[in-house]
Amino acid sequence: MTTILPTQEQQQALAQTVNLAEIEALGRARLDRNALEYYASGANDGHTLHANRENFGHIRLRPRMLVDVSAIDISTTVLGLPLDFPVGIAPSAFHGLAHPDAELATARAANAAGSVMTLSTFSNTPIADVGQAAGGRLWFQLYLLADRELSREIIARAEASGARALVFTVDAPYLGRREANERHRFALPPHLSAPNVATPQELAGVETDTGSQLTNYFQNLVDKTFTWNDLAWLRQQTTLPIILKGILTAEDAELAVQHGCHIWVSNHGGRQLDTAISAIAALPEIADAVAGRAEIYLDGGITRGTDVLKAVALGARAVFLGRGALWGLAAGGEDGVRRVLELLRDEVRLALALSGKQNLGQVGRDLLKM
């Protein structure tokens, strides 16, 4: 396995960044239109994409003063796995569009930063290789395929590769319309494949007549019949904890708990149902419904340490970065993702201290004015 080292200029530019927005600018500048539109797009008009970020801004903090904040602890655990800070990496397809080291770079960065990486079913790197790079800090995201036998094989490979949880994505029986991708016929470049689900030969035969190549390919593979009743089947296929990713209501959170699953609050980064509620706005009713019976995570629009604190205050055990990690990967491979994680870690620590809290256990709704 090769590792592509960043140039000196890249390293310097990365080292000078002071926030995630600057890394995003560096990352965007290194991507071609095909990849950039795929990463950046939301569905349709982008209402939910924007609301994910904007709604954090509507929540105000109520910091307390004259607290001894000489020692700050931002560590936590997710399903028993210790994290240095409450931030992981959300699953996203095709890291090879951002950097030649692809998912290996992301996994190494997550491991080095004491975080956790969630590997997409549609990675460009086989699960087993990513498992090695992640050093045990790995969750696996599952798209359930119409081919149940193949789904079982993928789950077994994820287990054998050291994944500690199965993140079952439930918000994408069909893909939302990312119109920029459709307009410009997004396509996976020929040197990239999706080795967990298909051979390069199978990918080469993908229909391109209507919509984007990606949409057709995805929609032919994924199971659209799966319901709550089928979760018992999934439960039988694995001993790993199951997390349902894409929950946005108290009703579905209650069902998730009844089915023995943990909950990942998400609208897929605004890429699925446009005008769906933002992730942070959905969190309070979900936390109330769950009432401590399962772990809750959230993704969507996280770019600042204060975003992380707000999600924790509303009941999330940890949050996950989608595009943030991809911008870092494009900006500088492993180093870029690490920079993203470390900047955010430092922001969380400072925000916690300035809020008058010593650890995440002290962060509750009294920190917020909604």
Ligand X SMILES: Cc1cc2nc3c(=O)[nH]c(=O)nc-3n(C[C@H](O)[C@H](O)[C@H](O)COP(=O)(O)O)c2cc1C
Ligand Y SMILES: O=C(O)C(=O)c1ccccc1
Catalog residues that contact ligand X under the rule CB under 6 A: 38-39, 52, 90-93, 120, 122, 141, 169, 245, 266, 268-269, 271, 299-302, 321-324
Nearer to ligand Y, 95 or 339 (CB): 95
Nearer to ligand X, 88 or 332 (CB): 88
Backbone angles phi and psi of 169, in degrees to 5:
-80, 120
Selection from ligand X, ligand Y, none that 56 binds (CB < 5 to 8 A by kind) is: none
Separation of alpha carbons 169 and 234, rounded Å: 13
Burial bucket for residue 267 (CB in 10 Å: 0-12, 13-18, 19+): buried
Task: Give residues 268-297 in contact with ligand Y (rule: CB under 6 A).
Answer: 268, 271
Using CB under 6 A, which of 107, 154, 170, 175 touches ligand Y?
Answer: 175
CB of 273 to ligand X, least distance (A): 13
User: Which two tokens mark 346?
Assistant: 């430092």
CB of 102 to ligand X, least distance (A): 13
Nearer to ligand X, 44 or 357 (CB): 44
Per-residue x/- track, 208-227, ligand Y (CB under 6 A): ------x---x---------
Nearer to ligand Y, 271 or 310 (CB): 271
* C-alpha dihedral sign at 305, 306, 310, 312: positive
CB of 366 to ligand X, least distance (A): 27
Using CB under 6 A, which of 43, 44, 56, 122 touches ligand Y?
Answer: 122
Separation of alpha carbons 242 and 178, rounded Å: 28
Report whether 31 contacts 332 (CB < 8 A): no
Selection from ligand X, ligand Y, none that 175 binds (CB < 5 to 8 A by kind) is: ligand Y
CB of 367 to ligand Y, least distance (A): 32
Give yes or no for residue 93 binding ligand Y (CB under 6 A): yes
Could you say which of 95, 99, 262, 268 is catalytic?
A: 268
Q: Is 184 a catalytic residue?
A: no
Report whether 27 contacts 336 (CB < 8 A): yes
Give yes or no for residue 31 binding ligand Y (CB under 6 A): no
Selection from ligand X, ligand Y, none that 186 binds (CB < 5 to 8 A by kind) is: none
Nearer to ligand Y, 56 or 217 (CB): 217
Nearer to ligand Y, 246 or 333 (CB): 246
Using the CB atoms, write b or e for 297-326: b if 16+ within 10 Å.
bbbbbbbbbbbbbbbbbbbbbbbbbbbbbb
Scan for tokens 């996976």, then name that residue: 188
Selection from ligand X, ligand Y, none that 332 binds (CB < 5 to 8 A by kind) is: none
Selection from ligand X, ligand Y, none that 52 binds (CB < 5 to 8 A by kind) is: ligand X
Give yes or no for residue 158 binding ligand Y (CB under 6 A): no
Using CB under 6 A, which of 20, 130, 167, 172 touches ligand Y?
Answer: 172
Torsion angle defined by CA atoms of residues 71, 16, 108 and 122, in that order, rounded to the nearest 10 degrees: 120
Give yes or no for residue 140 binding ligand Y (CB under 6 A): no
Max Cα–Cα distance, the chain, nearest Å:
65
CB of 176 to ligand Y, least distance (A): 8
Q: Which of the residues are catalytic?
A: 268
